[in-house]
Every structure is written in structure tokens, then in C-alpha cells.
Amino acid sequence: MATNDTNLQAVTLPREWSAQSWRARPATQMPQYPDAAEFESALAELRRLPPLVTSWEILSLKQQLADAQEGKRFLLQGGDCAESFDECSSDVISNRLKVLLQMSLVLVHGMRKPVVRVGRFAGQYAKPRSADMETIDGVSLPSYRGDIVNGPAFTAEARRPDPRRMIKAHARSAMTMNFVRALIDGGFADLHHPEYWDLGWVGHSPLADEYRRMVAAIGDAVRFMETLSGAEVHNLNRVDFYTSHEGLLLPYEEALTRQVPRNWGWFDLSTHFPWIGMRTAQIDGAHVEFLRGIRNPIAVKIGPSVTPDMLLKLVDVLNPEDEAGRLTFIHRMGASQIAAKLPPLLDAIRRDGRRVLWVCDPMHGNTESTANGYKTRRFANIAGEVEQAFDLHAAAGTRLGGVHLELTGEDVTECLGGARELTETDLERAYRSCVDPRLNYEQALEIAMLIVRKQTQISAPL
Ligand code: PEP
Ligand code: CO
């Protein structure tokens, strides 16, 4: 796509925005579609298809994120690194939902505050890559950029960017959303029946006892309230669930960006909460330009190379009115760098007095390769980064308002360590991710328990 226009305006000048204005800016991480007519026809079809979420839902999430900024809620955002079309299945979707519900139960119970639940699903199909091409045995093909762009197999056929995949991604996202909504509306998340979300293999888990004690305590509390009031406690059978994905493939996001009858402005209706990664967070770049004009709450991932100055510029461009709930920064520094890199950023934003929600992604700064060739993450580093994040925010006078995790409800062996102490040889048993390693059910629950312990310690220091 022709997106390299060097005739940029200064970001400090007020500028017109449209759902297409990103096209005049340098757009990194975009696939090169070989057939322009095929590409345009897929976009025309997408523009006619119904949206995946509504503006009311988007605005209610923004309000919940505003509450999280004030410490009244805690954000739990999690799901696969990348969804795949093949794994759009009943088990994968419901197991992932179960883990997120269990984690949120642990957090609500332990932190005594409501949790904002946001899935990294129903649209998490586009991946940034460090190189445009991949070379194996002298053969070079376009890199795999997620199922919305091309296929993972190393063949010319699979790696050809196919615009029809955007239509399929929209359909798979809709199926995922539909199933999640139906489960939740049907009482799947009912606090009277937490056994609905038990996962078969949990029975053998070293964490099972602690989890079951918590569930029993909540059950007692619910029954006590109901006995006291003589009626069923309502609102315990439903929860809000929101979706998020990386807003990477801008033509797709643009096609789903719409105006709606009863709310002003433009909404990206492909998801409630799009984020952009470090690789696309250039202040004059296409992705920042796109995010700038939509009314959704938005997030930017920030890594060790971000400076306070860059961060303040992002705040100016992405949230010039200092709107509550609008802007989230997801820091992903790595356990070994967070102590050096995060505090100057926290200080800069605090001194500036601007509203942001701070969220810790303890996954992406802690990726490493094992001797036997697996991309993995050590549980101890993930846990260590979360713990340090709580301490560093407390020391800086800012607030850690949530976590962003890559996890799955499947019994995979992709991250090392945890209660079952997975080792390098265990990785071979059930390594299924074709991108980043995810926490399995048990490791995810363990992180939730750790957050509770840490947060309790911070709010009641000895
Ligand atoms: C991701 O969230 O999967 C990702 C690629 O993250 P980051 O942009 O933080 O590297
Ligand atoms: Co990832």
C-alpha cells in the first residue's frame, strides 16, 4: 500500500482527522497486497458488514477504565498472543473465558474491588513482525503476519497476503463474540454456580485447594446476603466482558470505523478497546494518527526504549482534552529493566498531571529462547515484573491499575516454572502457540493470586 507520504504536518498544529487520514502517514507493519482490485473489493464488502460492538458498550468500558484510573476498579486484560482461525472452537473459547472468570473471581475477592474484564480475543488476528521476509534454506517468503493477513505454513501460497482473510477474521470475531455473549447471558458467569467454570484438569492442581476455599467463601457470602435480604441478590448472574485487539491492520480498522445515530464522533466498531504496540507508536505514524480520532478507549504498549518526552507527546496527541478513561499505557519492560526504565516515565506523567491508566504486561519483556529452540518465558520473571510494578508505582505515587497477560485455558506447556515447575523438557509436551508463549490455566491463576497478595501488602504496609 502506498502510505509513505513524507509531507507531514507538525503534530502540534490542529489537524483534520478522518478514518482515512492515516493513509497520508508512514504506516509500518503493513502487508503488501499483490492484487489491488481484490483488496478494494474486500474492503468494500467489510464496509457493508455489521459492526462487532456498539458505541454504548465502548462508552461504558471507557467509564470503567476511568474508574480504574481512580483506583475504584482493576483491569484484567488477557487472552492469546494471536488467535487463529482454526482455534475458533467451542472448547478454546469457553476454556479461555473460564480462566478469565476464575482469575477475576480471585481478584474481586482478594482486592475487594470490581474487575474490568477485557479479553484479548474476538479479533486478535494481526501480528507485528521484526522482518518483512523470512528466509529458510535460501528461500525467502513474506513473514507470517497473523491469520487476518496470511497463513503460518512456509509456502508461497500460504504466505501470500490475502485480503479475503479480513472478511474471514470479521466472521470469526463475530462467532467468538456471539458465543461469549450467549454464554454470559445464559448464566455461565453466575456467582451462584462457579462450578460452571471449573476446568476438568484443575482437580489435580496444587492451587485447587486455595481456589476452592475462595469459591466456598464467596458462596457463603452470597447465601448470607440472600438470607439477610430475603431475596436473590441480582446482578450476580451476569458480568460485563469487553474485547480488545492490537489495532495493527489499519485498512480493516478503517472499514469498521463508523458514525452512529445517537453518539457524536467516530467509533472503531471492530472492538471495544484497540491498542497499538511499540513498533507502531511513532508520533507521526499512521497508527497514532488513526487512534487519535476514534472515540474508543485506546492503549499504547511501551517498552524500555520509550523516553519521558515521547510519552508526553503521545499523551498530547492521543488525549489532548485529558479525558478520563481515554488513554492506557501498558508497560512491558522486562523483569530486569523495569526498575531502571519505568520510574522516569511515571514521574514525567505524574508531574504533568495528566490522566492515564497504567497497566503492566509482564509477558513481552521476558521472552527468551531455550537451548532446545523454544520461545518461552519464565514464570519467575513474569511474577517478578508484576511485583516490581506494584512497588515502583507505590514509590512513584502512581497507581498500577491493571495487568495485560497472554494466557489460554488449554493445558499447554509454553512458559517455564509455576506451581508445577515446568522445565525445558516439559515444553515439548504441549507447546501449541505459533507466536508467543502463553500462561496455562494454572500459571494464570497463580498470577491472579500473586497480584492479590502483592496488592494487599502495598495497601497495608507493615
Ligand atoms: C503482543 O501484545 O503480542 C505484542 C506483540 O506486544 P508488544 O507490541 O508489546 O511487543
Ligand atoms: Co505476544
Structural domains of the chain sorted by starting position, each given as residue range(s) with its CATH number in brackets: 38-134+163-184+238-459 (3.20.20.70)
Q: Which ligand is nearest to the CA of 377?
A: 2
| Residue 6: pLDDT band with limits 50, 70, 90 | very low
**Strand boundaries in 45-132, DSSP class E:** 74-79, 115-119
For ligand 1, atom 2, which residue shows the shortest CA distance? Answer: 81
Alpha carbon distance 290, 267 (integer Å): 11
| Residue 240: pLDDT band with limits 50, 70, 90 | confident
Residue 186's pLDDT is 83
The most confident of 95-109, 290-304, 447-461, by mean pLDDT? 290-304
Distance (Å) from CA 361 to ligand 1 centroid? 9
Give yes or no for residue 236 having a pLDDT over 70.
Answer: no
Among 167-176, 191-200, 389-398, name the one with the lowest average pLDDT: 191-200
Mean pLDDT of 280-305: 98
Characterize the bridge pairing of strands 375-377 and 367-369: antiparallel
Residue 50 carries which DSSP code?
A: P
For residue 230, give every residue at least 6 positions away whose Cβ sits within 8 Å of its Cβ, in sequence order, or none.
Answer: none
**For residue 306, which of 284, 274, 278, 336 has the smallest C-alpha distance?**
278
Give yes or no for residue 154 having a pLDDT over 90.
Answer: yes
Cell of 147: 491469520
For residue 154, give every residue at least 6 positions away whose Cβ sits within 8 Å of its Cβ, in sequence order, or none.
Answer: 134, 136, 139, 141
Residue 298's pLDDT is 98
Q: Is the CB of 278 under 6 A from ligand 1?
A: yes
User: What is the per-residue pLDDT across 37-85, written as a single tens digit (0 to 9) for each?
Assistant: 999 999 999 999 999 999 999 999 999 999 999 999 999 999 999 999 9
**For residue 30, which of 39, 38, 42 has the smallest C-alpha distance?**
39
Q: How much of the chain, in percent, has pLDDT values that exceed 90?
A: 79
| Residue 200: pLDDT band with limits 50, 70, 90 | low
User: What is the per-residue pLDDT across 345-378, written as a single tens digit (0 to 9) for each?
Assistant: 999 999 999 999 999 999 999 999 998 889 999 9
Ligand 1 pocket test, pick from 273, 275, 436 with the greatest ligand atom count within 8 Å of Cβ, gives: 436
Among 5-9, 11-15, 176-180, name the one with the lowest average pLDDT: 5-9
Question: Which ligand 1 atom is the nearest neighbour of the CA of 127?
Answer: 5
Residue 410's pLDDT is 87
Residue 461's pLDDT is 53
Treating both helix axes as pointing N-terminal to C-terminal, what angle do 90-111 and 441-459 enclose, rounded to 10 degrees? Answer: 20
196's enclosing H/E stretch is: none
The residue that leads in pLDDT, 192 or 326, is: 326
Q: Is the CB of 436 under 6 A from ligand 1?
A: yes
Q: Is the CB of 116 under 6 A from ligand 1?
A: no
Residue 188's pLDDT is 80
Residue 457's pLDDT is 87
246's enclosing H/E stretch is: strand 242-246
Mean pLDDT of 424-433: 92
| Residue 234: pLDDT band with limits 50, 70, 90 | low
The residue that leads in pLDDT, 407 or 3, is: 407
Sign of the dihedral defined by the CA atoms of residues 21, 26, 30, 31, in that order: positive
The tally of CA atoms less than 13 A away on the side-chain side of residue 96 is 31
Q: Which ligand is nearest to the CA of 245?
A: 1
State the average pLDDT for the chain: 91
Q: How much of the chain, in percent, has pLDDT values that exceed 70?
A: 94
Cell of 56: 454504548
Give yes or no for residue 388 having a pLDDT over 80.
Answer: yes
| Residue 337: pLDDT band with limits 50, 70, 90 | very high
Residue 426's pLDDT is 92
| Residue 121: pLDDT band with limits 50, 70, 90 | very high
Question: Which ligand 1 atom is the nearest neighbour of the CA of 330?
Answer: 9
Question: Which ligand 1 atom is the nearest neighbour of the CA of 301?
Answer: 9
| Residue 1: pLDDT band with limits 50, 70, 90 | very low
Residue 235's pLDDT is 62
Question: Which ligand 1 atom is the nearest neighbour of the CA of 277?
Answer: 8
| Residue 10: pLDDT band with limits 50, 70, 90 | very low
